[in-house]
Amino acid sequence: MNNSKEFLGTEPIGKLLFKLAVPSVIAQIVNMLYNIVDRIYIGHIPGSGSLALTGVGVCLPIIMVVSAFAALVGSGGAPRASIFMGKDDMDSAEKILSGCFTVQIIISAILTAVLLLFGRSMLLTFGASENTIDYAVDYMSIYAVGTIFVQMTLGMNMFITAQGFSKISMLTVTIGAVCNIILDPIFIFGLGMGVKGAALATIISQAVSCSWVLTFLTGKKTFLRIKKENLKPAPSIILPCLALGLSTFVMQSSESVISVCFNSSLLKYGGDLAVGAMTILTSTMQFAMLPLQGIGQGAQPIMSYNYGAKKVDRMKKTFKLHLAISLIYSTLFWLFVELFPSLFAGIFSADPTLVSFTAGALRIYCGAMFLFGIQLACQMTFVAIGYAVCSIIVAVVRKFVLLLPLIFVVPMFVSNKTMGVYMAEPIADAIAVTFTAILFSIQFRKALRKLEKA
């Protein structure tokens, strides 16, 4: 790694994006294993695997909300820190880092209290049945205790990536994932703890990752450091960060709301089998989304830094390359899912009935996945250049304006009600990507003209 932050504004775009994106993509793939390895092991618990998998699947909306709060702070603060680095204002950048650190501690404490007090009621609301509620509560009661480790790891690691230390941020995730993969079979099968063992393995692994992140951000190798004198969060520093992070928060937390709606509709039309399939569909979607987010995280510091430095040509080149790579990946993955859906379903369950049902649902649910490359590239660029309102609009339109009502409307017009619920996803995606592309083409040109005039 170059010992000067200026490499973000001088190195060739292709080489720089490769250097930053590859570790970020690897980190996201490892993170994907981190997220789904519990479900793979749980789905293969002898005798109760399918019900246990469904129970843990009901916990996913809550886990998404916890991750979304980390993103609210990190995904808003990190790009703003990069922009100030581009302006050579390191003092403001460090105030953002330290202020966001304090805010995440506060949020973690509140979330932990809420989950411990109201966890069971929330899980019943989110689609748990009498058959699956005990598995869901067993998992969530332990996971809630480790909320602060999840918050610190996910949120603060974004500040490492934003400075261009993508290899360090990759190691953050890798260390935790390796711990999780090792501990899971020991706790789940060796000690006979079942879903409780999976949750315990997860929070121990996140604690190890959290220690790594904080050690780096208080050490000598980082450009930006967490400092005692900056820990008190000033509203003028924190509020713009939260405003910018709101789009990512909406996008991730809305997954929780959407998941609840999917689960309630699927429980109504298809029972526990359909809800269990949804757990697998959501996990498969991570194979598509997380690498795309990794590409975006590699591009973000380049665009944010050069936006702050008013280097228009480098911004244009970065976005075009970002879009091309994202579109190629999403298209190739879509083809793979459509051709081999049973392969993905079989990863999570040995139950032939569940695998067969899920394979058919997967083809429908992922029908417009090839368009995700456009959606993610545009949305993450909005965040990278500080266009908070636009990033919020595209997130809200896709989830709340389109997908949420379609989950309930589409089944009314098809004979197979259960598959009608799954069809809502590709219909919403196709319309949302069209809207996002039009809005982006208008606003990105305005942003570039504004820089050229400046």
**Among residues of the chain, what percentage have pLDDT more than 90?**
22
Is residue 333 domain-resident?
A: yes
Which comes out higher in pLDDT, residue 426 or 129?
A: 426
Task: Write out the residue range of the structural domain in which residue 201 sits.
Answer: 12-453
Is residue 54 domain-resident?
A: yes
Using one digit for the tens of pLDDT, what is the confidence trace for 350-393?
778 888 898 999 999 999 999 989 998 998 888 888 787 888 88
Using one digit for the tens of pLDDT, what is the confidence trace for 166-182?
788 888 888 888 898 88
Q: Model-level pTM? A: 0.68
Sort residue 192 into left (φ over 0), alpha (ψ -120 to 50) or beta.
left
Is residue 106 domain-resident?
A: yes
Per the prediction, the chain carries an average pLDDT of 84
Asked if pLDDT for residue 135 goes beyond 70, the answer is yes
How many Å separate Cα 141 from the centre of its chain?
22
Confidence of residue 2 (pLDDT cuts 50, 70, 90): very low
How many domains would you assign to the chain? 1
Asked if pLDDT for residue 1 goes beyond 50, the answer is no
pLDDT of residue 31: 67
Asked if pLDDT for residue 346 goes beyond 90, the answer is no
- Burial tier of 91 (Cβ tally within 10 Å: 0-12, 13-18, 19+): exposed
Confidence of residue 428 (pLDDT cuts 50, 70, 90): very high
Asked if pLDDT for residue 3 goes beyond 50, the answer is no
Is residue 2 domain-resident?
A: no
pLDDT of residue 227: 86
Is residue 7 domain-resident?
A: no
Using one digit for the tens of pLDDT, what is the confidence trace for 34-65?
666 777 777 767 666 667 777 777 777 788 88
Asked if pLDDT for residue 434 goes beyond 90, the answer is yes
Is residue 372 domain-resident?
A: yes
Q: Are 57 and 137 in contact (CB under 8 A)?
A: no
Is residue 139 domain-resident?
A: yes
Q: Which residues contact 33 (CB under 8 A, 6 or more apart)?
A: 177, 181
Is residue 94 domain-resident?
A: yes
Whole-angstrom Cα distance, residue 173 to residue 155?
12
3-class DSSP state for residue 308? Answer: helix
pLDDT of residue 57: 72
